[in-house]
């Protein structure tokens, strides 16, 4: 589904992959959104900010038109929450840009797996189950790498007993050990 008109959208239920697609067809996943996450535009400029949305599970997205959104912003508590969400999204994007510029693909992938574990992980008998229904291509799009490179690194991590694929779920076998791969000084 393409989202390219004015208005704000709120994920009411489920999970959404929010992506941008270049004119050459390359895809960049901008974010993995869950219930309560907000996205879209209300500004009047003519910038092309179209997104491609993909549900990762049964999802519901509510569209709030510009006038209704402006009325909601007049409520201080709602406005404060929106500002908090925008600040967090900005911090996440800054971390991703820094990672793309300063870190290798292996480190970016491991840090992304650790972040997904924090955001979406559930304890399991093997360690931490990350069930976000992401393909290797999705992970590659998220970290700015090729699917083949992600496949190779995930294979290396599986052979070294850091992760294990259980169907569509990726299990992080020992979060602290995985953290030490990107920060050897980490005591976990």
Chain segment 82-96, per-residue pLDDT in tens: 888 888 888 887 777
* Pair (21, 112) in one structural domain: no
* Pair (159, 111) in one structural domain: yes
32 is a domain residue: yes
187 is a domain residue: no
* Pair (79, 128) in one structural domain: no
Q: What is the pLDDT of residue 135?
A: 85
164 is a domain residue: yes
For the stretch 79-93, what's the b/e string if a residue is b when 16 or more beta carbons lie within 10 angstroms of its beta carbon? eeeeeeeeeebeeee
* Pair (83, 138) in one structural domain: no
* Pair (88, 113) in one structural domain: no
* Pair (54, 139) in one structural domain: no
CA distance 69 to 6: 11
Helix axes 76-102, 105-120, angle to 10 degrees: 150
Residue-number span of the structural domain to which 21 is assigned = 2-101
* Pair (20, 32) in one structural domain: yes
CA distance 105 to 56: 24
Domain CATH number, residue 14: 2.60.120.10
Q: What is the pLDDT of residue 127?
A: 87
Q: Is 186 left (phi over 0), alpha (psi -120 to 50) or beta?
A: beta
Domain CATH number, residue 169: 1.10.10.10
CA distance 36 to 53: 16
Lowest mean pLDDT among 27-31, 77-81, 161-165, 182-186: 182-186
CA-to-CA dists, residue 40 to 7, 37, 54, 75, 162, angstroms: 6, 11, 15, 19, 37
* Pair (158, 143) in one structural domain: yes
* Pair (8, 96) in one structural domain: yes
Stronger pLDDT, 147 or 184, i.e. the higher one = 147
* Pair (56, 111) in one structural domain: no
CA distance 176 to 63: 40
Among 86, 101, 116, the domain-final residue is 101
* Pair (43, 84) in one structural domain: yes
Domain count, the chain: 2
- Is the pLDDT assigned to residue 141 strictly greater than 70? yes
**Alpha helices per DSSP H over 19-75:** 66-73
């Amino acid at each position: 589904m393409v989202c390219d008109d004015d208005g704000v959208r709120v994920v009411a239920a489920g999970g959404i992959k929010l992506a941008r697609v270049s004119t050459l067809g390359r895809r960049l996943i901008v974010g993995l959104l869950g219930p309560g996450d907000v996205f879209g535009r209300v500004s009047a400029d003519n910038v092309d900010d179209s997104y491609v949305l993909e549900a990762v599970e049964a999802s519901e997205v509510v569209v709030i038109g510009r006038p209704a959104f402006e009325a909601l912003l007049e409520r201080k508590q709602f406005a404060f929450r929106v500002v908090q969400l925008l600040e967090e999204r900005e911090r996440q994007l800054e971390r991703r840009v820094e990672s793309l510029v300063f870190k290798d693909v292996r480190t970016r992938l491991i840090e992304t797996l650790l972040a997904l574990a924090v955001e979406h992980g559930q304890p399991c008998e093997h360690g931490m189950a990350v069930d976000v229904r992401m393909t290797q291509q999705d992970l590659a799009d998220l970290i700015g790498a090729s699917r083949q490179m992600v496949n190779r690194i995930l294979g290396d991590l599986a052979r070294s007993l850091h992760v294990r694929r259980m169907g569509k779920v990726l299990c992080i076998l020992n979060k602290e050990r995985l953290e030490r791969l990107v920060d050897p000084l980490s005591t976990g």
